[in-house]
Amino acid sequence: MLKQERAVITRQQIVNGAAEMFDRVGYERASLAEIVELSGITKGALYFHFKSKDELASVVIDEQHAISMKAVEAITSSGEPGLDQLAMLCYEMGRQMVEDSIVRAGIRLTLEMSAEGGPRKPYADWIDACELVVRAGIDEGDVVDTVVPEELGRFIVGAFTGVQLVSNVLTGREDLYERIDQMLSFLLPGIMAPRRRHKIDRIRDARWTPSAG
């Protein structure tokens, strides 16, 4: 059991080191030698757990997606109004990008690899989540029923992706929360029923707090 526990710890140590390197320099410029050094393990240990840089990148993406989808599932089952959930999703994705190197690396890798037919599932699942909360907003009367949920879900993900990329380029994401708030301030008046727009400030303030567990 102790040997298995050590193996699990070593594997996660490698994933963490790889994520930090991918986050710093991207997939192409990251080398296995640098990942070994950053992880504090031997090359033999790395090859015991992972066959290639491709496999490591795939695992980082998978871990990032699992982290993000765990939050999505918690938010969409919270019972909060649909548009509150939308704001919570945007801010939680922002928080993860600011605080978690695995999330930053996974999103960077997904963006880089998508140019060459890379992973689509992280985007597809995120779009589905946004579509779900938009449908709830329509059912609750907060969102005008002329909105097409599938189209708005795709637009929100595209808008957030652009916002976080520009924030990263200009400020290293130091202003990401402010830029997310700005995005919502432009988006919400355009999709909300006029009689419900008095809720906009409250919706923009909606946050989800991860449980300690």
Q: Provide the pLDDT confidence category of residue 7 given band limits of 50, 70 and 90.
A: confident
Evaluated on CA atoms 109, 94, 158, 129, the torsion sign reads positive
In one-letter notation, the amino acid at residue 43 is K
Averaging pLDDT over each range in 8-12, 46-50, 188-192, which range is the top one? 188-192
3-state class (DSSP) for residue 192: strand
> Could you give the CA distance from residue 166 to residue 170 in angstroms, rounded to a whole number?
6
> Could you give the CA distance from residue 129 to residue 138 in angstroms, rounded to a whole number?
15
Q: Provide the pLDDT confidence category of residue 4 given band limits of 50, 70 and 90.
A: confident
Residues whose CB is less than 8 angstroms from the CB of residue 71 and which lie 6 or more positions away in sequence, other chains included: 89, 92, 93, 96, 208, 210
Residues whose CB is less than 8 angstroms from the CB of residue 189 and which lie 6 or more positions away in sequence, other chains included: 197, 200
Q: Provide the pLDDT confidence category of residue 81 given band limits of 50, 70 and 90.
A: very high
- pTM for the full model? 0.89
Q: Provide the pLDDT confidence category of residue 180 given band limits of 50, 70 and 90.
A: very high
- Overall average pLDDT of the 118-127 stretch: 86
